[in-house]
Chains A and B, each alone.
Chain A
């Protein structure tokens, strides 16, 4: 039996994800944001206002975080250490690759599964807080072999 909270949170998350992906792919603002991320100079010369895009990026990122916090607060209840969950988000994003929305989803799932599996299986060998540390340890190992995560942009650098 899955609780209603989980179900509706899941549905809300899926809806928001679809909204996010289509925002980045089809709207003018989303495209200008991607342009700025790729090459700020080129975007500026094409008439994108970088100032506006950055302000908007902060606003949207915090709105998304607020929605996430609402969903999470419904499930877990509230306490001050919710802030530390923000740190756990970073391995997920890095694993999926920056600048990739599907990467964030897949990375989040992989990190969540790895975390709970290592909590269950590794805890007998390394008692203590393996569960809290596992995402970071996996992230370091993954970055050694996949420097840009799964679907991050591989930048070709020129001098």
Chain B
């Protein structure tokens, strides 16, 4: 919630509920739209488009985590499992049943949602630390056992899940290079963000927020908490499935190593840095994680001749930097980057009386 400038008078609820209420916000949004859909893919190089694809994948993956942790209070440490289910289901649909990409994306989202509900069932009885354990169990059972031992061996190891270029197409639109993947990513991110944002201000979203704030009070108010918790798991799984099905388009071959437990932890870190309980936070967190690590890569490049270890072990350096970033954020900005953004916006909205 931010303050509106003087002279904005709402006469009915329709005006009051509008997303973009002032001309300035409209202009900002139109500029954002133009930037994301036209300017960026036209003028940024291929390298930065690849970086943007990773950011988009992180956003899509973290939306579900944000919904579960930030809006419904169900802490999950196994979201990579649902992303993996989405990726595998969509790959199977395309490669074995020769379904179109859009259909397989929807099937993948549905299956990932149902799979997520299955592991969300204990949330009816447990919460807090015990719930973290069951979601972790989802990760290990799904990725380390079912996918590694059975699914990825269908049709011989590594054969069935290599995606030849040109497999992924929507009608006549073939998605086979980074720019096409970028457009697909932007469309999916837009749709998912709109869906989640609108869901959160409906009856369902208010029920989730009530459960997050105090589930017993929510139950006393007549919210069916089991139903809404499972619905939260379902929707989060659907977003995870969409993320997985999107990531298939960026990969030459699918393997369980893309969806390890560390990726689940990474996603939780993304929303901690971005801000828990805010959709802006998902975007800020994803951009921070990806761009800071890119910056780190550039920063150590001049050091490479003297310390070759730095570049060789960059993966580990990356993880250490990630851990440090989370620690610093939890200590100095526990509300995340979204809160800082809110403060900056309000500083200008209330200027010159901003104190």
Contacts and interface: CB of A to CB of B under 8 A. Distances in A.
B145 A133 contact: yes
A90 B136 contact: yes
B121 to A, nearest CB: 7
Interface stretch (B107-115, B200-208, B212-220): B212-220
A68 B125 CA distance: 32
A139 interface: yes
Nearest to B137: A136
Interface residues of A, number: 23
Interface stretch (A10-18, A59-67, A106-114, A123-131): A123-131
Contacts of B150: 128
Interface string B127-147: 001100110111011001100
Contact of B126 (A137, A143, A157, A158): A143
A99 to B, nearest CB: 11
Interface in A111-148: 126-130, 132-133, 136-137, 139-140, 143-144, 147-148
A103 interface: no
A71 interface: no
B217 A159 contact: yes
A127 to B, nearest CB: 7
Interface residues of B, number: 23
B210 to A, nearest CB: 12
Contacts of A158: 216
Given A129-B149, A157-B216, A159-B217, A144 B125 contact: yes
Summarize A's interface: helix, strand, loop or mixed: helix
A44 B149 CA distance: 51
Contacts of B100: none
A87 B137 CA distance: 10
**Most chain B Cβ neighbours within 10 Å, of A91, A128, A132:** A128
A87 B136 CA distance: 9
Given A159-B214, A159-B216, A129 B144 contact: yes
A98 interface: yes
A58 B311 CA distance: 34
B81 to A, nearest CB: 12
B217 A144 contact: no
Contact of B121 (A130, A132, A144, A147): A144
B137 A137 contact: yes
B84 to A, nearest CB: 15
B122 interface: yes
B134 A130 contact: no
A147 B134 contact: no
Interface string A78-93: 0000000001001100
A94 B121 contact: no
Contacts of A136: 136-137, 140-141
B144 A132 contact: yes
Contacts of B214: 159
6 contacts: A94-B129, A94-B130, A129-B144, A136-B136, A148-B130, A159-B217
Interface of A: 87, 90-91, 94, 98, 126-130, 132-133, 136-137, 139-140, 143-144, 147-148, 157-159
Given A129-B144, A140-B137, A143-B126, 6 more contacts: A94-B133, A132-B144, A136-B141, A139-B137, A140-B119, A143-B125
